[in-house]
Each structure stands twice: as structure tokens, then as C-alpha cells.
Amino acid sequence: MHKRNMMQENSQALESKQRQIVNMFDEIAKDYDKANRILSLGIDISWRVDATKRALNALESTSALSVLDVACGSGDMILHWQKRLRALNGAQNAYQKIIGIDPSKEMLKAAHQKIPESRLINVATNAGGMDFNGTDSGAKNLDSNNADSSASTSPNTAPISLMLGEAKDLSAIESSSIDIVSIAYGLRNVLSYELALSEFARVLKKGGVLVVLDFFKKSKPSLLDKIIGLYTKRVLPIVGGLISRNFAAYKYLPDSMEVFVTPEELKAALEKVGIQTKEIRSYSAGISHLVLGVKG
């Protein structure tokens, strides 16, 4: 009984910490894009472009794809998928659907403003999600009746849905229904990331591709890594804090890199859920990495 109580307390503490992280992103959502572009000097755009290109090259076909972007934030990765698929397949038949899911209501609102043709859908998590009006929502589906009235209904606009939810619980998504799952700079913020990996594997079709872009922990930091580390720990919190007026949030971001896994550790974790790593790619002298996996 004592052991069970300890496990419950640990679980509650983990959920509380996860909620704090989500609340932090709610607070910085308004200035997130501005701070991100300034702090990264826009270089992250090239990383995202390359990741989408490599993911699509790993698929046998790029027509009528279903894409799920987890921890979609303000929608940057969704726009990259949309642009790349339109270039490949044409605007009217670019893809079957793109779904963005994030636990932060404010980040989803920012994504909706950036992608006006998207639909906001209320999806509660098992922990008790809240809909966009601040009321309790038990809905867990893609029913168009839940769509935001401002979303476009033009037949020439391929559907993009923005859903409230967590990476560790994708129960609103059917098993083996997704061609590409992506998570860009969000896996570090998922405290139960092993559960998220299991969910990624569940929703992916056989042969489907997983794209993980992130700032991973360095197993053997080089001199350059240490110099970059000084920037992220000393400069980033100050600049990000001045832009967003939230210094704590931009102190958390570099701290989260130090307690995250290495690309090789993620590769081992993916193998346990049936996803084989096809490629690990380093960007900009190891600042960021892509881990590209395929479901067997």
C-alpha cells in the first residue's frame, strides 16, 4: 500500500510539473514566434525544411497523406508540411489532412491566427481538458460540428485541424491512420516521453515516418558545444525574457536540454516501440538534430 501511495504521489507530481510547463507556454504564446526568430536568427527554418524533405523522401508515395504534428505550437511545422506537399501534389490535392495537436490553448490560438483556414477542435485529455471557451470538454473526436466558425469551408482548401491534447494521449487519433508524425522542439517538454513514443507508433501506418527535431543532450560536449551552451544559458534567457517579459520560461528552455536524452538514446527508445531509426542528422554544428524513424 505504501509503494502504491508513493507511485500515486510521483504521478501527481509529474502531472503538476507538466501542467506548469503547459502554463508557461500559454504565457509566452503571444511573443513566441518573435522571440524564436530573433534567438535562432531564423536558422531553424532551414532545419524544418530539410526535415520535411527527408521525411517525404522516406515514403513510398506522397499523395493523399495524413500528417500529424504533435506539440504543434504556433503552427510553424504545419505550414512547412503544407507548403512542401502543395509543391509536390498541387494546391487542391496536396494532402488528405493535417492535424496539429498541442496542450497549450494559447499556442493553438496563435496557430489558428497564422493558419486562418484551420479548424479549432475541442479535445479533452484524460487529465480533464478545457475547451477554448474555458469550459470542461468531454469531446474526443474530429466532428466538424466542433469547428471554429471562422474556419474556411472552401472545397479548394484542404483540411487542417488544430486540437487540444497531449503527446502521451493521442486517443482522438485512430490507430494506423497517419502517414507522418512530426514533433519539432517539443519532445523535451513531454515528461512522460516514452508514453508519447508508444502513441506515435500506434497512430502511424506501417511504413509511416516519424520526424523528431530537437535540441538533444550532448553525450560528449565539444568546445563549440560549450560555447553554444554559454549562449543558451546566459544570453537566451535575457533576450527571450525581455521580448516575452517571462524570464523564467527562457531559463527553462536551456535547462530542459541538459536533462533530455541524446539522439542515440532516443533511437534505442524508438526501437522498443517498433520504430526503426533511418537517419540521425546534425544541423549547424550539432545545435539541433533530426531523428527520422520508420514504423516496421
| Full strand arrangement of the beta sheet holding 288-295 | 119-121, 160-164, 97-102, 66-70, 178-184, 204-214, 288-295, 275-283
Cross-strand partners of 277: 293
186 burial type by CB count under 10 A (0-12 exposed, 13-18 middle, 19+ buried): buried
Higher pLDDT: 227 or 213? It is 213
β-pair type (66-70, 178-184): parallel
Residue 204 falls inside a structural domain: yes
Give the amino acid at 15.
E
- The range of the structural domain enclosing residue 93 comes to 45-218+261-295
Residue 60 falls inside a structural domain: yes
Helices (H), 1-43: 2-40
How many domains does the chain contain in total?
1
Its pTM stands at 0.85
Query: Which pLDDT belongs to residue 171?
Result: 94
The answer, yes or no, to whether residue 154 has pLDDT greater than 80, is: no
- Kindly state the DSSP code that residue 50 receives in the 8-state scheme: H
Query: Which pLDDT belongs to residue 261?
Result: 96
Query: Which pLDDT belongs to residue 2?
Result: 57
Q: Kindly indicate the confidence band of residue 99, based on its pLDDT and cuts at 50, 70 and 90.
A: very high
Q: Kindly indicate the confidence band of residue 147, based on its pLDDT and cuts at 50, 70 and 90.
A: very low
Query: Which pLDDT belongs to residue 140?
Result: 38
The answer, yes or no, to whether residue 8 has pLDDT greater than 70, is: no
Which CATH number does the domain housing residue 181 bear? 3.40.50.150
Let me know how long the chain is.
296
Residue 236 falls inside a structural domain: no
Q: Residue 264 is placed in which grid cell? A: 542515440
Kind plus residue range of the DSSP H or E element containing 162: strand 160-164
Residue 251 falls inside a structural domain: no
Rounded to 10°, the helix 236-244/2-40 angle is 90
Mean pLDDT over 184-212 rounds to 98
Calculate the average pLDDT of the chain: 85
Residue 64 falls inside a structural domain: yes
Residue 289 falls inside a structural domain: yes
Residue 9 falls inside a structural domain: no
The answer, yes or no, to whether residue 135 has pLDDT greater than 60, is: no
Residue 27 falls inside a structural domain: no
β-pair type (288-295, 275-283): antiparallel
